[in-house]
Structure 1
């Protein structure tokens, strides 16, 4: 059975019982969503897929509404976009995770610790060292004296204990020093300038 409705002032037909977001996407309209997966039960939690039904003037979540005969849907005007933006801001305000790993945020050198860990776990020691040396010049030395603020922020602590990031960094450096072919990062060409280094080691 078909239902007749309007989408953005166009007459369309859709199968009765269809989910509104599927019909909109079938018409080539991009509707954002974060909690909707076709074929799975809907829980209508993110509200970033809202559209407006002109019959009532109300905003409705398109991921959980079934199409109805006579619907008059606006998929994206100023009010709809503002509502989606607000929904996303509310989601982010309660975001308990981080898009960037806390260990990397806490690291004074901002080293890509998750990537180093993945490469070491895969046995790609040289590639891991390249990641380390992009931000840290002396990993073997720093791996012995660093106070490791990254480990204090490690998410793994919520399960058992922090990943030994400092030891892993040290391993990457020591493995390179023990090898026959040392890794040397890319160096810029000389600039005919001099600098004075005061102190020794990584603090110099």
Structure 2
């Protein structure tokens, strides 16, 4: 999701903040390993990530599943160091929502209307991190938010679940697609790679919220 990462850097810098990219040592966060019950591998990956990102600066994550896993490093590893690391982790929308007034206003043209976007809340963002409202704060600065009427039910992706149980995952997705279609929106915003790919496979136009926001920023 390199386009998402580039957009994230652009939007963060638009607030006046600087961005330090992680080194190669901060590779996989271990989220999928946790999902699969591979605890030992997940702990090794978590230790690598912690070692690669020292200091006190906030760690902004643009993937709901990764962010949820990294916020649980203290529980996963059971160390003070891991607890302190986890306290630095924020979903990117949480950080931006507190600085939304530092972002440029939406450019307006005569007769132009705000893009209507259906927001699909990844389970790891809404139910685990409980950070879905900041998405609306940030995205709503530039677009018209269309809410789904399914109370945040799963889209069916479930990490690697869609690959292991495609028929069940597709049936769950059908319910989500119906909820999206009822909004009348042509674009769907989802802040998790698994959800994005799963919904795109159903023929929907799905984008990360930060990519949409980045398009409204003036050229740097």
TM-score in terms of structure 1 length: 0.24
Counting helix residues as a fraction of each chain, which structure ranks higher?
A: 2
Larger Rg: 1
TM-score in terms of structure 2 length: 0.22
